[in-house]
Amino acid sequence: MTSTCRTFVVVLAAAAAGVLVAHPGQAQPPGSAQTRPNIVLILADDLGYGDLSGYGHPTIRTPKLDALAADGVKLTTVYAAPSCTPSRAALLTGRYPKRTGVDAVLMPDAATGLPSSEVTLARLLEGAGYDTAMIGKWHLGDRPGFLPTDHGFDEYFGLLYSNDMVPPWVQTTRPLRLVRGTRELPGDVDMHTLTERYVDEAVRIVATPRTNPLFLYLAFSMPHVPIGASPAFAGRSAGGRYGDTIEELDAGVGRLRDALRERGLDRNTLVIFTSDNGPWAEMPPRMLPLDTVRATDAGSAGPFRGSKGSTWEGGVRVPMLAAWPGRIPAGQATSAMVSTLDVFATIARAAGVGMPADRPLDSHDLLPLWSGAASSPRSDFVYFNDGRLQGIRDARWKLRATPDAADAGATIQLFDLVNDPYERFDVAASHPDVVRGLQTRLAEAARTIVRR
């Protein structure tokens, strides 16, 4: 089936099912059939809040990402899930992973993955006439039926799960292989050239002449361990070999933006950069039997407590940058609370595409915030960790209930994130009314955010 025919069939089927409709009362979206922007969504893996020079790292230099921030908006209160698979499910569906059933990290040959009933960004945009491509780490299922090409991506090149999911770190007999489309490629994966290969593929896709707008999802495998950098970057960073890895990633973003400019696409392209979760600063002993992975190969959560795998701020607060000339004023910064969940609604709005109306969504359009015309549309964020409900925050307060809010004996803590963003002081005893109010909201989340 040709691309044109495929798109017509998808649109017709969506219309017949009543899946794609505009939000009631929503203003006319900025995108139209003639002017819809290209969308480039870039996701780093295990990149910490403090790993970029623009977020305060003292030795790692990231001038290309700093330039992206200067051209648009830098966000400092952005929440993701604390681990790979749930975070990616949330990013691509705009739904808490508990709703989709993909709420824990998938291992190689897992029997499940992101259900075909979920509407991903790729499927949403494909139905609106976009060409869709993904490069990099998928981690939402590696069996037929769960692959990127099963979820709306026309093209795919990358790894189907994390780059450490081989012996000695993970007990599996399946070798780590790159995949193109649905075909596994022969040969071992070289971590030192992986970022470069991803960027080469992304640049190729951008340089390909096309009549349709493009949605490109570039999901780097780095800086998830085992890290690696190509010869042009190895030994160059003052931040050591971790810094080498980050600085090559930064340069790759620069190469991709250069490719957009060379094709004359930069003025009509929304670029979003973020991370899937905080840094893996507390790696378990199983990760350290060889020199291939060192404890110092993890990044920094900056001033925040905790790291990947936890619902402390360091595990879930991530950097985010966005630029869209003419739509997002340059040089902005905001501390308003948002989530990577909100990328779904924001991209849909930018593309002029209606949101799925047949399921609950947890995503909010951030374009008014990014343009400086409004405050954040998000009033709260609910913290899940491997399917366990562990807390909720509003504009000021964060309630933690660990190990699971469903446990009668759960430990309850309250933090004032305005005056104590580092979670040093538990003030639950002195604010019982705030605790009760947030517990009520947490109980409501437990009732409503379930698998649908």
Active-site positions read 84, 139
Cα–Cα distance measured from residue 25 to residue 57, given in angstroms and rounded to the nearest whole number: 43
* Phi, psi (deg, nearest 5) at residue 228: -170, 155
DSSP string, 303-362: T-S--TTSSSHHHHEEEEEEE-TTTS-TTEEE---EETTHHHHHHHHHHT-PEE-SS---
- Tokens 């017949």 locate to 16
In the 8-state DSSP scheme, what is residue 54?
G
Q: Which residues are registered as beta bridge partners of 34?
A: none
Q: SS3 for 383?
A: strand
Check the CA dihedral 127-128-131-133 and report its sign: negative
* Residue 243 to residues 8, 52, 66, 158, Cα–Cα distance (Å): 46, 10, 15, 23
Q: In the numeric block, which tokens belong to residue 406?
A: 């469903």
Q: Is the peptide bond before 97 cis (omega within 30 degrees of 0)?
A: no
Cα–Cα distance measured from residue 130 to residue 118, given in angstroms and rounded to the nearest whole number: 18
Cβ atoms 114, 451 nearer than 8 A:
no
Cα–Cα distance measured from residue 298 to residue 296, given in angstroms and rounded to the nearest whole number: 5
**Nearest CA-CA partner of 40 in 257, 298, 336, 355:** 257
Alpha helices (runs of H) in 94-183, residue ranges in sequence order: 97-100, 121-126
Cα–Cα distance measured from residue 145 to residue 245, given in angstroms and rounded to the nearest whole number: 33
